Amino acid sequence: MKMILKVLGVILMVVGALAVYSAGWIVDKYGLDKNVPINFEHTMEGDELIKFKRTRALVNVKMLGMLIMLPGLVFIIIAFR
């Protein structure tokens, strides 16, 4: 049982870390910054709005990567106890 938790924990940690570190590439490849909803578009200009959308998409992808990584960390802590 502990071996399964160790392997699953490492796999989740690696997948989550790859998602965090390759967030820029993921946002560029899939165009995730195009679909970011903004409620206050009238307060920003062109380049500033584009930069804000890209940054928000990057943060969303990195948060998803961290959410993937978190169960892996818990599994590893339980397995090495």
Residue 37 has pLDDT above 90, yes or no: no
Per-residue pLDDT band for 36 (boundaries 50, 70, 90) equals confident
Per-residue three-class SS string for the chain: CHHHHHHHHHHHHHHHHHHHHCHHHHHHHHCHHHHCCCCCHHHCCHHHHHHHHHHHHHHHHHHHHHHHHHHHHHHHHHHCC
Q: What is the pLDDT of residue 40?
A: 79
Per-residue pLDDT band for 38 (boundaries 50, 70, 90) equals confident
Q: Read off the pLDDT of residues 44-61 as tens digits, 9 standing for 90 and up.
A: 888 888 899 999 999 999
Residue 30 has pLDDT above 90, yes or no: yes
Average pLDDT over residues 13-20: 96
